[in-house]
Amino acid sequence: MKKEEFDYIIQNESKLKDLPNSELIRVMDLLSSDFEMTKKQIIDMTFYLDKIEELYNKSLEIYKTRVS
């Protein structure tokens, strides 16, 4: 979602009851797609972070054996 679209939704949050159905559906579609995209990014980043931690810990163990 573009920043302008998000700003528009925020500005009209209090007016949701007054929006026509077509506009309400458009807002819901934007929010839904953005939610799914953000959720996927968070999951992907979680896997990435876990892998970084795993690689760091392996590297640290090897390092410890060399300096002991």
The pTM for the full model equals: 0.75
Q: Which residues contact 31 (CB under 8 A, 6 or more apart)?
A: 1, 9
How do residues 22-58 score in pLDDT, each as one tens digit? 999 999 999 999 999 999 999 999 999 999 999 999 9
CA atoms of 21 and 67, how far apart (whole Å): 68
Complete DSSP assignment for the chain:
--HHHHHHHHHTGGGGGGS-HHHHHHHHHHHHHHHHHHHHHHHHHHHHHHHHHHHHHHHHHHHHHHH-
Q: Please give the residue range of the domain that contains residue 17.
A: 3-67
How do residues 2-29 score in pLDDT, each as one tens digit? 999 999 999 999 999 999 999 999 999 9
Domain count, the chain: 1
What pLDDT, on the 0 to 100 scale, is given for residue 1? 86
What pLDDT, on the 0 to 100 scale, is given for residue 4? 94
